[in-house]
Amino acid sequence: MRKLIPITTEYIKPSRSIDILHLESSEGIEPFYIYNYEGLHFHYFDSLIRLIQFFEEGLEANRSFYSGQELDDFLNELSGRGLND
């Protein structure tokens, strides 16, 4: 089973943050990043390089979400947990 491990939250501004999480599985640990824009938009990045390119070059996120519920559903799917787990 895969497990999500929150590592830290870095605040860019009071209403904008980057959450760093690890997805732990039998294959190892994969870091990923969630950019929270004012609690309205959430952007998922599978690498730090991609996150930096988002800010510097306007590269699109791997996935974007327009509600906290959409993000939660994605994270539950990512970790292999169902809605009722």
What would the pLDDT profile of 9-65 be if each residue is shown by its tens digit? 999 999 999 999 999 988 899 999 999 999 999 999 999 999 999 999 999 999 999
Question: Could you tell me the CA-to-CA distances from 1 to 54, 73, 81 in Å, in that order?
Answer: 31, 17, 9
* In the chain, where the domains are located: 3-79
Q: Model-level pTM greater than 0.85?
A: yes
- Write down the pLDDT at residue 81: 61
* pLDDT at res. 52: 97
Cα–Cα dist 51/36, whole Å: 12
